[in-house]
Structure 1
């Protein structure tokens, strides 16, 4: 489809306008012309990108690209008196909404409970993308894509949205207009038109890569991650912590304790999995968790039980993480509880455990009034079986 842009405005003849024309040999600033042959009528693509500097005609092309389809404003239509979890697809399924938020990298649960206008720019951008994913139109045009964002959040937000959009059923199409070239490789679009050069590129691009290093540590890094964890609970005793690092910066965290399976058998128990917000959507969370659980399964050096291969049990009430674990064939779901254990019973159990600890260890510190349970929170349990356990 040939798209022709011919923008016109008045040719001013004021003193300053005339002087600018004389100084810079500029005949006129009133005309802008651009022609582009673009695949607007081709149903065979999912994501297209128009990239170029400001003022190069991106928005003008977008307004003509699909007649009757205007440019979407991700910041419009949000209620000021409702959290975003209520504002996104109000008549839709709860799991679909939370899944969309997690899918675009907005996995910071406390942010779900805030209205749109109090979110940060990065959170607002991802919330807008989540709304598109949860209630997707057949065709959508997004302008100023990632323009007001920190560039790292922009790249991973673009990656998360592109993956989520491609998973949508049907032949839905999204046209992205952006002046930032750094996000194009992360989007991996089906085609790209550069308004600066007038060239259309349909060859696929290779998504950039980064290396994640994993270190075993203690709880010293937890204060960095704690504000982004959806539960406020005491730290697990005798746990080993693992931190994922990219270019010297910590980006994800998980702790591994132990669980008695009976008859002398034990397995690792993981919790406190957190990916920092600026890295959510990059796919590091599941890869990081799987890598640590594989160490346990192999009994490798650095695992929870070095030299002793063990499985890992992991519990979560995060809908997005639970969905990811169910999709990964290296994990098997083993439980799903709606209610927490009775808090009174936990008081008794911990009191007995505390008394035994004081009797066995003279210098031990007494703990009183501690108990878990009593919550109304759906907790789902999963066990890591690894690649070899997939066919078992």
Structure 2
């Protein structure tokens, strides 16, 4: 346990307006211009997630600098470069992708666009991933100031869940400064320094078995295919929906659609055969990535389609999705192949389809009633 103590002070203006404002409240402005912080905390023992919390002006940032040095907070993102290009050179592509996905930035299109095009939430996740990468070599904790200050509160909770999960999975140390107490459950920190109360709480023995009281709720609804226009920019494959017969679903948080799922019939049904409907164009808004909602959306909507009498199939070129789907008993792997642009009779233009020589994984869905 170590004691951290300092005093924040600021000069008091004596101009006419400042004096008038002070006199209107009948307070001693000189007293209000100083803020003393004194707290004893154990941050030397092993941990993954630390939280310094308190209202604006309570001394969070100064306390972090007092502990870790004045240069502990840095802005890393170069606005004109894609995020994936800003990692240190010693990191391979797979390591960069793993770090970005680990903090919930799973949208590949977001990785390859200039950083200035990212939303506030996406930018915060990207900076977090970069700070993790750059601090790893020096074995230093990652420090992030104003955690979730620029995003709405639901997104803040999702981001907090993602970062704590990644920190524990990769054995990294992260210290977050925030003025919001609503992220505490979602961060599940090993220790907390509350600058409002000037109080330290050790939670190392609690966080492993901790269960959140608050849960986010989502529901699935059928939607118009036009909603794809908004979600298409987050999809890795195509901006267009398949032709032919399609069914489209949306994932909603309250009244906000935060996900999209399509089923399409690629091959005309033969007489006496059950129509095959292929799962595709699954998108979860990047702000909600990291909660496992994508596979949940695929599974739930596939169950709906199977209940309507369709033979539900899925084909993916994404290795992470393939590995994830193998864990679910309702999906049976039927084929692994490499797609080319060549078919019997010559070459075909596959706009919006699989690129040349890409490995694909085909699955068949087994509904609950038949498992």
Q: State the TM bucket, normalised to the shorter chain.
A: 0.7 to 0.9
1:286 aligns with 2:302: no
Query: Which string of whole-angstrom CA distances, capped at 9 and with x for unpartnered residues, describes residues 7-48 of structure 1?
Result: 2547658466777389313453454322222230111x3112
Aligned to 1:129: 128
Aligned to 2:155: 153
Paired residue secondary structure (1:157):
helix
What is the CA–CA distance in structure 2 between the aligned matches of 1:377 and 1:83, rounded to whole Å? 26
1:91-130 alignment, distance < 5 Å: 91-130=90-129
Aligned to 1:47: 49
8 Å Cα contact 2:122-2:287 kept in structure 1: no
> What is the aligned-residue RMSD (CA, Å)?
3.8
Aligned to 1:25: 28
State the shift of 1:307 in Å. 4.3
For normalisation by structure 2, the TM-score amounts to 0.79
Which moved further from structure 2: 283-292 or 323-332?
A: 323-332
1:95-244 alignment, distance < 5 Å: 95-133=94-132, 137=136, 138=139, 139-168=141-170, 170=171, 172-201=172-201, 202=203, 203=206, 204=210, 206=212, 208-230=214-236, 231-244=238-251
Aligned residue among 327, 351, 355 for 1:375? 355
Query: Which string of whole-angstrom CA distances, capped at 9 and with x for unpartnered residues, describes residues 85-119 of structure 1?
Result: 12124332223322332332323332222232443
Paired residue secondary structure (1:71):
coil
8 Å Cα contact 2:9-2:35 kept in structure 1: no
Aligned CA distance change for structure 1 residues 152 and 59 (closer, same or farther; 3 Å): same
8 Å Cα contact 1:270-1:315 kept in structure 2: no
8 Å Cα contact 2:232-2:240 kept in structure 1: no
Query: Which string of whole-angstrom CA distances, capped at 9 and with x for unpartnered residues, describes residues 202-223 of structure 1?
Result: 3546152122222234524322
Paired residue secondary structure (1:223):
helix
What is the CA–CA distance in structure 2 between the aligned matches of 1:272 and 1:72, rounded to whole Å? 39
8 Å Cα contact 1:8-1:31 kept in structure 2: yes
Structure 2, unmatched stretches of 5+, are none
Aligned to 1:312: 313
State the shift of 1:286 in Å. 1.7
Structure 1, unmatched stretches of 5+, are 301-305, 349-368
What is the CA–CA distance in structure 2 between the aligned matches of 1:11 and 1:253, rounded to whole Å? 54
Q: How many residues align?
A: 355
What is the CA–CA distance in structure 2 between the aligned matches of 1:328 and 1:164, rounded to whole Å? 23
What is the CA–CA distance in structure 2 between the aligned matches of 1:246 and 1:124, rounded to whole Å? 22
Aligned residue among 235, 250, 256 for 2:257? 250
8 Å Cα contact 2:341-2:350 kept in structure 1: no
Aligned CA distance change for structure 1 residues 234 and 283 (closer, same or farther; 3 Å): closer
8 Å Cα contact 1:244-1:252 kept in structure 2: yes
Aligned CA distance change for structure 1 residues 211 and 242 (closer, same or farther; 3 Å): same
Paired residue secondary structure (2:363):
strand
What is the CA–CA distance in structure 1 between the aligned matches of 2:148 and 2:63, rounded to whole Å? 18
Paired residue secondary structure (1:312):
strand
Aligned residue among 34, 37, 40 for 1:37? 40
What is the CA–CA distance in structure 1 between the aligned matches of 2:80 and 2:291, rounded to whole Å? 31
What is the CA–CA distance in structure 1 between the aligned matches of 2:287 and 2:226, rounded to whole Å? 21
What is the CA–CA distance in structure 1 between the aligned matches of 2:67 and 2:229, rounded to whole Å? 48
Query: Which string of whole-angstrom CA distances, capped at 9 and with x for unpartnered residues, describes residues 156-207 of structure 1?
Result: 2222222222211x4x221111112232222222333321123334354615
Query: Which string of whole-angstrom CA distances, capped at 9 and with x for unpartnered residues, describes residues 223-263 of structure 1?
Result: 23223223234524112222222212222111123467999
8 Å Cα contact 2:194-2:200 kept in structure 1: yes
